[in-house]
Amino acid sequence: MPRFRHFLAIDWSGAVTERPGGIAMALAHADGGPPVLVDPGRGWSREDVLAILRDELPDDTLVGVDLGISLPFADCGAFFPGWEDSPPDARSLWAMIDRICADDPHLSASSFVDHPELSAFYRRHNGREGASFHAPGAAHKRGRFRVTEERQAALGCSPYSNFNLVGAAQVGKSSLTGMRVLHRLDGRIPVWPIDPLPATGSVIAEIYTAIPAIAAGRRAGTSKIRSHEELAEALAALGSPAPEGSGVIDDHSADALLSAAWLRIAARDDALWNPPGLAAVAHTEGWTFGAP
């Protein structure tokens, strides 16, 4: 397992606008100290984040991105079962998404979910649920899950299907826009576990911010932090000092700060890099770092 020197957590957004308010980045250093927000108040675009990952990332950084790096595959043996152009692995999926959405502004992904064949796999607004939103024989109504999302649920989290585009907690468009960014990195940074974990250098991994919150002693249902005082308490539970500040903090910044501090300690846990069943889905579905 590499010894990372920096830990960057990115809270993500799939909004169509150029600078979605939901993007926040926080950095923690291996030598300790409080996590810090990266250029707070700037108003990040997805293109900005791509440029940092591609050209400005500090050496030996573990990057945690709060989005799904792939779609369900194992449940049906395909991302889009029955569709002849369904890609065979995650990197092929990223390339297809970016190709279909090439004309969508700001690395958004509206063209993908409105695609005449692919829309059948999504639950969209105004009651538009595609005929293939559920896996054949699925026992629940939440749509198709990856193996790692089933493991998230076992922790007490409430994951959403990456094929769901409805509701405040939907992650579908965030994940699709994130996959466009991953594709455009063109292999410059390994994306675990799609790529093997290298002995040195930087790595990108999917995170789910409820997992750091649970590690800090908060319940998944009340994982959102909205004050500096709550944040300081959660960071203390992880053995981290808190950044300066008092009163209200937006939950995107708090998620990024807590996640950066959590990555600093979680990265040392070999078990989190080798969860049971990973090998079978590593190149197709990927995994959420921290899911058992």
Q: Where are the domains of the chain?
A: 1-292
* pLDDT category of residue 170 using cuts at 50, 70 and 90: confident
**Burial environment of residue 134 by CB neighbours within 10 A (0 to 12, 13 to 18, 19 or more):** buried
* pLDDT category of residue 165 using cuts at 50, 70 and 90: confident
Say how many residues make up the chain. Answer: 292
Residue 139 has pLDDT above 70, yes or no: no
Residue 201 has pLDDT above 70, yes or no: yes
Q: Average of pLDDT values for 70-96?
A: 96
- Could you give the CA distance from residue 87 to residue 53 in angstroms, rounded to a whole number? 26
* pLDDT category of residue 141 using cuts at 50, 70 and 90: confident
Enclosing H/E stretch for 206: strand 203-206
* pLDDT category of residue 11 using cuts at 50, 70 and 90: very high
CB-CB neighbours of 108 under 10 Å: 20
- For the chain, the distance separating the N- and C-terminal CA atoms, rounded to the nearest angstrom, is 17
* pLDDT category of residue 168 using cuts at 50, 70 and 90: low
Q: Average of pLDDT values for 211-238?
A: 89
Residue 134 has pLDDT above 80, yes or no: yes
8-state DSSP, 266: H
Q: Average of pLDDT values for 10-19?
A: 92
pLDDT at 286: 98
pLDDT at 29: 97
Yes or no: say if 44 and 22 are a contact pair by the CB < 8 Å rule: no
pLDDT at 126: 72
Residue 257 has pLDDT above 70, yes or no: yes
